[in-house]
Amino acid sequence: MKKTTLALAAALLPLLSQAQDARIEAKIAALMKQMTVAEKVGQLHQLSGRQFTGPASSDYADKLADIRNGKVGSMLNVKGVADTREIQALALKSRLHIPLLFSLDVIHGYQTVFPVPLGESASWDMDAIALSARIAAREAAASGIHWTFAPMVDIARDPRWGRVMEGAGEDTFLGSAIARARVEGFQGKQLGATDSVMATAKHFAAYGAATAGRDYNAVDMSNQQLFEVYLPPFKAALDAGAATFMNSFNTLNGIPATGNAFLQRDILKGSWNFKGFVVSDWGSVREMVPHGYASDLADAAVKAINAGSDMDMEGYAYSQHLEDAVKSGKVKMKTLDDAVHRILVKKFELGLFDDPYRYSDAAREKAVLSDPSHRAAALDVAQKSIVLLKNERKTLPLSREPQRIAVIGPLADSQRDLEGGWVVQGERAKVVSILEGIRSHAGKAEVSYAQACASGCAGSEGFADAVATAAKADIVVLAVGETWDLSGEAKSRTDITLPGQQEKLFSALQATGKPVVVVMLAGRPLVFNTIADQADAIVYAWFPGTEGGNAVANVLFGDYNPSGKLPITFPRSVGQIPLSYAQYNTGRPVTDEKNVVYKSAYIDSVNTPRYAFGHGLSYTDFKYSGLALSSAAMSPDQKVTLSFDLANTGKAEGTEIVQLYLRDMVSSVVRPLKELKGFQKIHLKPGEQRRVSFTIDRNLLSFYNSQLAWGAEAGDFKLMVGSASDDIRLEGELKLQSK
Ligand code: BGC
């Protein structure tokens, strides 16, 4: 009976949604019939509210008048029930009463701040990542927000680029899984639920490959790289239902992404059949003029919309020039209508025509923003994000028995730095600092504190006091790193070593002979060679959010056994960048670091990374054994199961993220040495063992050939299973037959 009802419901669902679509279509058609060209253009115009206003937005009163007159379709940087209600009321006074869409960069939490996206990605935990996005959506949607400009799904392999902080790191497979999880988290079960916001897959496309890691810089890349490395996370976001896409500031092979019909028309709206709408990045339509792609703002408007950019964010190109462009025929009415239609569909799907205030409910805002489960989730994700880079002689976990712990460093008692960039509504006073976290977790241990130097650590005046504090202690916890404002947009750096005197501070403390545990905060991989060589333990905490101090303390005292793995390679120097585990063998690979003559190598540095993609230690040990393949060969239609045993051979409960890599040994286009093709998080008690398996099918063995056709080529594949990309524990071989 129950089964029959469920089956009936499942059969009815598509019919219901078709009926809903048809109803929406009829309403949109009726509405668009009444719209003037100016009103249509208005729907494509997005303005910024008072928060984070840009150069073009000085005259707020004019903006409000434009909203009142139906000349604006969406506002960004407006939040809170009171403000969104007030502004929505203005829009509803316009002739056709079309409601506004409110959008905001809710990147890693709204009021409850979660770890920065790169940090969360180190958890490799899709449920935790989706939950983080879900809670962000719940809070934002209770505060009047309909739409977030997240997730950023740009693959980024250059830590000089400050925006690596906003993404999922260097890997396409992991990045695609995370893109899916984030979109599903933000959008929930369905658009229009009042605990969901529309997601934006950004920045389309290839922004993460900005030349030399300099923000907004040009990108020149082969279509093969584009299709294989940079586009799949976008496709994954689309498949997960992403309602909108944002284009990007960069040129791609000479054409600005915003004016790029190949990207937006041929790929996104063409072969991918994307039905949502594309918003430009902030002013990116007008930036086509300085790029040298459009002669003036009018030309930029024409080029952007014809190339598929539907909404102009703070660019004023559409609002000032689109009407004329339609009149002169440079832009077809059909093109304008298509953009307007895409935007109106979303407004209908969100239910804004039924109730324009449904996301702006004061009682819900109050209840949701004070939900204590949100902080619990933030703590959970933060501890899962922390990566134990080094732990000599089992320095960690710390004991809570009587001992003296000196907590030192410019970031030890900071609250602001734990939040990271893109914080829109965080409650700073409630952020738990590392010092506070350690104090409240220390048990019988005694905690002392010295800041040593101020934020940035320019001067060393406080070092003597810090050294004296360390000398009186049994162990030192040193909190260093980048301050929050050194990563993010427009925060590219040529030097990614620890700022100021922080490594000197480490050396001064280490000279006391006390063990030094370094806790590092950052939004990107940093270079810290002295610490990497000499510290007793290193905990990489990224910017861990509101609950950061508790998360760090749980890891330090062993209440949480660290399980995070790096989602991006840590180089030894800027000179090695860009550096990815998925590199090519070349014709002259280095097989022996002591002999690099005429090899593809640097002669002044070890050629391996400092910490490889996938690296991360635990307080327990995992043993991999017994790799087996269900078959040594497969035809293209078959599947093969790879399995092995994973055992926890240490003394603590722990979680291992097992990683599956493969290499296509000979192919029509040379393949990387390793490509991640699977991962699982396995939790084991001491002494416990489990058989782990992965399914390998043709899709997993496929790549884009020189004709950009996706497929697998017959031949030999090396399969590798391990704890990190440079810590492969088991290997196998698989043959793909031609038929
Ligand atoms: C960024 C986007 C962001 C937008 C709106 C731009 O500068 O590149 O990622 O969503 O501003 O704040």
The mean pLDDT value for 239-248 works out to: 98
**Euclidean distance between CA atoms 701 and 719, whole angstroms:** 11
User: What confidence score (pLDDT) does residue 442 get?
Assistant: 98
What is the band of 269 on the pLDDT scale with cuts at 50, 70, 90? very high
User: What confidence score (pLDDT) does residue 58 get?
Assistant: 60
The mean pLDDT value for 187-195 works out to: 95
The mean pLDDT value for 680-700 works out to: 98
Does residue 56 carry a pLDDT above 60?
no
What is the chain's mean pLDDT, rounded?
96
Tens digits of residue pLDDT in 476-514: 999 999 999 999 999 999 999 999 999 999 999 999 999
User: What confidence score (pLDDT) does residue 55 get?
Assistant: 46
Tell me the β-bridge partners of 710.
704
**Euclidean distance between CA atoms 270 and 552, whole angstroms:** 47
If one residue of 163, 216, 489, 492 were mutated to test the ligand 1 pocket, choosing by the most ligand atoms within 8 A of its CB, it would be 489
**Among positive and negative, which fits the CA dihedral 257, 261, 267, 269?**
positive
State the DSSP string of 652-682: S-EEEEEEEEEEESS-SSPPPS-EEEEEEEE
What is the band of 630 on the pLDDT scale with cuts at 50, 70, 90? very high
- Residue 357 tokens, joined: 């205030």
Does residue 204 carry a pLDDT above 80?
yes
- Residue 263 tokens, joined: 């990207």
User: What confidence score (pLDDT) does residue 678 get?
Assistant: 98
Tens digits of residue pLDDT in 82-130: 999 999 999 999 999 999 999 999 999 999 999 999 999 999 999 999 9
The mean pLDDT value for 23-51 works out to: 95
What is the band of 3 on the pLDDT scale with cuts at 50, 70, 90? low
User: What confidence score (pLDDT) does residue 60 get?
Assistant: 85
CA 420 to chain centre: 13
Ligand 1 centroid distance, CA of 77 (Å) = 11
**Euclidean distance between CA atoms 309 and 303, whole angstroms:** 9
Query: Is the pLDDT higher at 232 or at 19?
Result: 232
Query: Closest by alpha carbon to 151, among 78, 209, 238, 252?
Result: 238
On the CB side of 116, how many CA atoms lie within 13 Å of its CA?
28
Q: Map tokens 């790169």 to a residue.
A: 118
If one residue of 53, 105, 200, 311 were mutated to test the ligand 1 pocket, choosing by the most ligand atoms within 8 A of its CB, it would be 105
User: Which residue's C-alpha comes closest to atom 11 of ligand 1?
Assistant: 282
The mean pLDDT value for 645-655 works out to: 98
The dihedral formed by the CA atoms of 525, 531, 532 and 536, expressed in degrees to the nearest 10: -130
If one residue of 53, 74, 149, 165 were mutated to test the ligand 1 pocket, choosing by the most ligand atoms within 8 A of its CB, it would be 149
User: What confidence score (pLDDT) does residue 59 get?
Assistant: 80
pTM of the model: 0.97
User: Which residue's C-alpha comes closest to atom 7 of ligand 1?
Assistant: 282
Number of residues that make up the chain: 739
If one residue of 147, 216, 281, 312 were mutated to test the ligand 1 pocket, choosing by the most ligand atoms within 8 A of its CB, it would be 281
User: What confidence score (pLDDT) does residue 7 get?
Assistant: 75
The mean pLDDT value for 619-636 works out to: 98
Ligand 1 centroid distance, CA of 268 (Å) = 20
Of all atoms in ligand 1, which is nearest to the CA of residue 52?
Answer: 12
Of all atoms in ligand 1, which is nearest to the CA of residue 248?
Answer: 8
Ligand 1 centroid distance, CA of 104 (Å) = 9
Least confident of 46-60, 689-703, 707-721, 722-736: 46-60
Query: Closest by alpha carbon to 215, among 524, 492, 421, 523?
Result: 492
Does residue 350 carry a pLDDT above 70?
yes
Ligand 1 centroid distance, CA of 152 (Å) = 10
Does residue 589 carry a pLDDT above 90?
yes
Catalytic residue (one of 83, 125, 171, 281): 281
Ligand 1 centroid distance, CA of 300 (Å) = 19
Of all atoms in ligand 1, which is nearest to the CA of residue 200?
Answer: 10
User: What confidence score (pLDDT) does residue 367 get?
Assistant: 96
Residues contacting ligand 1 via CB (< 6 Å):
76, 105, 149, 202, 281-282, 489
- Residue 4 tokens, joined: 């029959």
Does residue 418 carry a pLDDT above 50?
yes
Cis upstream peptide for 378 (omega within 30°): no
Ligand 1 centroid distance, CA of 628 (Å) = 48
Of all atoms in ligand 1, which is nearest to the CA of residue 202?
Answer: 9
Output the CA–CA distances (angstroms, integers) from residue 150 to 63, 105, 185, 200, 523, in the order listed: 25, 7, 11, 5, 17
Ligand 1 centroid distance, CA of 249 (Å) = 10
What is the SS3 string spanning 332-347?
A: CHHHHHHHHHHHHHHH
281 is annotated as an active-site residue: yes
Of all atoms in ligand 1, which is nearest to the CA of residue 166?
Answer: 9
- Residue 510 tokens, joined: 């280490």
The mean pLDDT value for 18-23 works out to: 88
Tens digits of residue pLDDT in 293-344: 999 999 999 999 999 999 999 999 999 999 999 999 999 999 999 999 999 9
User: Which residue's C-alpha comes closest to atom 2 of ligand 1?
Assistant: 281
User: What confidence score (pLDDT) does residue 8 get?
Assistant: 75
CB atoms within 10 A of CB 394: 9
Residue 606 near residue 161, CB atoms below 8 Å: no
- DSSP-derived pairing of the beta strands 312-313 and 537-540: unpaired
Tens digits of residue pLDDT in 538-580: 999 999 999 999 999 999 999 999 999 999 999 999 999 999 9
Does residue 52 carry a pLDDT above 60?
no
Ligand 1 centroid distance, CA of 663 (Å) = 37
User: Which residue's C-alpha comes closest to atom 10 of ligand 1?
Assistant: 149
Three-state secondary structure call for residue 644? strand
Does residue 713 carry a pLDDT above 90?
yes
The mean pLDDT value for 630-639 works out to: 97
Output the CA–CA distances (angstroms, integers) from residue 538 to 183, 253, 433, 651, in the order listed: 32, 41, 18, 21
Does residue 57 carry a pLDDT above 60?
no
Query: Is the pLDDT higher at 188 or at 21?
Result: 188
Burial pattern 633-656, b for ≥16 Cβ within 10 A else e, equals ebebeeebebebebbbebeeebbb
User: What confidence score (pLDDT) does residue 18 get?
Assistant: 85
**Euclidean distance between CA atoms 604 and 310, whole angstroms:** 50
User: Which residue's C-alpha comes closest to atom 5 of ligand 1?
Assistant: 282
Ligand 1 centroid distance, CA of 158 (Å) = 19
User: Which residue's C-alpha comes closest to atom 12 of ligand 1?
Assistant: 105
Q: Could you give the angle at which helices 333-349 and 297-306 cross, rounded to 10 degrees?
A: 70
Residue 520 near residue 386, CB atoms below 8 Å: no
Tens digits of residue pLDDT in 209-234: 999 999 999 999 999 999 999 999 99
User: Which residue's C-alpha comes closest to atom 6 of ligand 1?
Assistant: 282
Output the CA–CA distances (angstroms, integers) from residue 286 to 289, 308, 313, in the order listed: 6, 15, 10
Does residue 363 carry a pLDDT above 90?
yes
The mean pLDDT value for 381-397 works out to: 98
Share of the chain above pLDDT 70, in %: 98
Of all atoms in ligand 1, which is nearest to the CA of residue 203?
Answer: 9
